[in-house]
Chains A and B, each alone.
Chain A
Amino acid sequence: MTAVLERPAPVRPAGPSTRARRLARRVAGPWTYAALIAILAGSAFPVYWSFVVSSQTPDAIDSVPPVLVPGGHLFENIARVFDTTDFALALMNSIVVAGTVTVSVVLFSTLAGFAFAKLKFRGRNVLLLLIIGTQAIPTELGIIPLYMMMSEFGWAGEIHAVIVPGLVTAFGVFFMRQYFERAIPDELLEAGRMDGCHSLRLFWHVALPAARPAAAVLGLFTFMQAWNDFFWPLVVLVPENPTVQTALSTLASGYTTDYTLVLTAATIGTVPVLAVFLLFGRQIVGGIMSGAVKG
């Protein structure tokens, strides 16, 4: 559930070339590096510390001075998490939810984005405005009726109640549309039409291959967001059938006072997004800087 506005394009006054700009840009001094390293440390510390606690015996979390280096009890603690809670089910559910949502959002956003960018039809602009407008509204505010609907369908407590509302996002459609506008010249599609190509074939053979970089970025964001989604799964799921995030919430809310166990679960739940991040960090950074807004 995203809330996104159309972002203003970066300022681009006419000016010297990128190269001249680079040359004139201030070279970082030692203070800049010191500050950046401090920021890097601050960014990584909470996750690192959680990992440290996960690898220590349960008394380490309460020790003074605090323990700051990993110990050798990581697998022991992981085993305890899987023994005391059904964390395997939580992981499985999160994989199914995030996987399905990602495939669906990428597919439907690409299809609709292509239509909005490259096909002409009546009402196109009005529908596009509707999409942009709805991006600004936090859909969480409709959570009570959504819950009533899910109860009515008999879906409350089931993971499709989490999956179905996430199958499309306004942001995805808008993001793909912006990409198609720039990435595919109209002439290419005209030529395809002259050859008698049906628009679905144009989509499949011309648009989709060209959209791969943008679709990948959208997929990365959608996966991480679906994996981390908290409020709606908390409302509609039951503790016996959780996602990773709601399982963490149950664990932390008085299920146990063993916080080494809780933080080990938090660490396990962070590993998948962290892996995606370490593998595709460059694309994620590039995506945010070029306007792939997630909110």
Chain B
Amino acid sequence: MVLIDKTARRHRWDTRFAPYGYVAPYFLIFGVFGLFPLLYTVWVSLQDRNLLESDAASLVWFDNYAKLMADPYFWNAMGNTLSLWLLTTVPQILFALFIAQLLNRKVRTRTLFRMGVILPNITSVAAVTIIFAQLFGRDFGLINWVLDLFGAGNIDWQAGTATSHIAIAVMVVWRWTGYHALIFLASMQAIPSTLYEAATLDGANGRQQFWRITVPLLRPQIIFSTIIATTGNMRLLAEPLLFNPGAAAATGGSDRQFQTAALYLYEQGFTNYDFGYSSAIAVVLAIATVIVAGLGYLVTKRIRTE
């Protein structure tokens, strides 16, 4: 009798409380090292807190934000961020659709091609940026050498705003297009062929079928990819940091022509050690990312479903 009682009690304890024990490690670690810092950022952003100044942190409310709104370097960085967002996100999605369409055909050695498109995604952003920075070199870069064959002059990629943005966008698009292509491919394979057969009977050509059947049916994945790509592309840091090898790398070029908001956050936080100001940039960047992702959602949502 005592034994049964004990087993029953243990069973009740097990079903009631044990599950909390299983999820506890996640919530403990994430709570302390993920969620808490995130929320605390808002608090730090309201403080005057600089590691290089001897006086203790003091609450200044919205002073950092007021300073930020009047800071030309910040607006420059936001402009660069938006420009890079556009130059990376749109080509990523379009190329990914195109590549997925190719991979969706009956291809021999399909695993090889699928691995091929995803290869850039598994390489490290630091290594890749260092490699691309050399490929985009002014005097001996391979890309200029190829362009020279076609008669284009030697481009100083890092010097100009547009050229540096294009070069950085190439790195990002190169790294992420294959990933989105595989997501699209998974969905394309689930589209029943009867839809295409009927369209062929109606006289629709390949391109019409792609835009009127494939793309509308892929709408959920396109929305998803746009949002994922946006949250990634709004906080580019490694590419602009390592594109310009040199001591003053955190400025993103001599005229800050490719300094992103994330890089400016890094410069203020870990070159100037102005933690309050840097946190304010983090908060504004988070809000901007939500707005831009929302914009991306509204645009992709309009893809017509028949």
Contacts and interface: CB of A to CB of B under 8 A. Distances in A.
A227 B30 CA distance: 20
B238 A230 contact: yes
Interface footprint category on B: 35 or more
A134 B140 contact: no
Given A111-B25, A289-B183, A245 B124 contact: yes
Interface in B118-157: 118-120, 122-128, 130-135, 139-140, 142, 145
Given A28-B105, A142-B40, A253-B245, A277 B130 contact: no
Nearest to A165: B33
A5 B127 contact: no
Contact of A230 (B33, B126, B285): B126
Contacts of B194: 15-16
Interface string A136-178: 1111111111111100000000000000110110100100000
Interface in B188-224: 189-194, 196-197, 217-218, 220-221, 223-224
A223 to B, nearest CB: 10
Nearest to A172: B26
B111 interface: yes
B246 interface: yes
Interface stretch (A33-41, A70-78, A79-87, A211-219): A33-41
Interface string A86-98: 0000000000000
B232 interface: yes
Contact of A61 (B26, B140, B191): B140
B246 A121 contact: no
A11 B125 contact: no
B85 interface: no
B97 interface: no
Contacts of A43: 116-117, 119-120, 174, 178
A97 to B, nearest CB: 13
Contact of A40 (B113, B122, B285): B113
Nearest to A228: B124
A13 B196 CA distance: 14
B190 A121 contact: no
Query: Interface majority SS on B: helix, strand, loop or mixed?
Result: helix
B131 A50 contact: yes
B94 interface: no
B221 A10 contact: yes
Given A40-B113, A254-B245, A293-B228, A228 B119 contact: no
A97 B78 CA distance: 33
B179 interface: yes
Contacts of A65: 145
Interface of A: 3-5, 7-8, 10-16, 20-28, 32-33, 35-36, 39-40, 42-44, 46-47, 49-50, 53, 61-66, 108-109, 111-112, 114-116, 119-121, 124, 127, 131, 134, 136-149, 164-165, 167-168, 170, 173, 196, 198-200, 203, 224, 227-228, 230-231, 235, 244-246, 248-249, 252-254, 259, 262-263, 266-267, 269-270, 273-274, 276-277, 281-282, 284-285, 288-290, 293, 295
Interface of B: 7, 10-11, 14-16, 18-20, 22-23, 25-27, 29-30, 33-41, 44, 99, 102-108, 111-120, 122-128, 130-135, 139-140, 142, 145, 174, 178-179, 182-183, 185-187, 189-194, 196-197, 217-218, 220-221, 223-224, 227-228, 231-232, 235, 237-238, 241-242, 245-247, 249, 262, 265-266, 269-270, 275, 278-279, 282-283, 285-286, 289
12 contacts: A7-B221, A8-B223, A13-B190, A24-B196, A46-B174, A49-B131, A138-B231, A149-B33, A165-B29, A228-B124, A230-B126, A289-B186
Closest 8 CB pairs of A and B: A15-B192, A142-B37, A24-B193, A8-B220, A40-B116, A142-B38, A145-B37, A115-B22
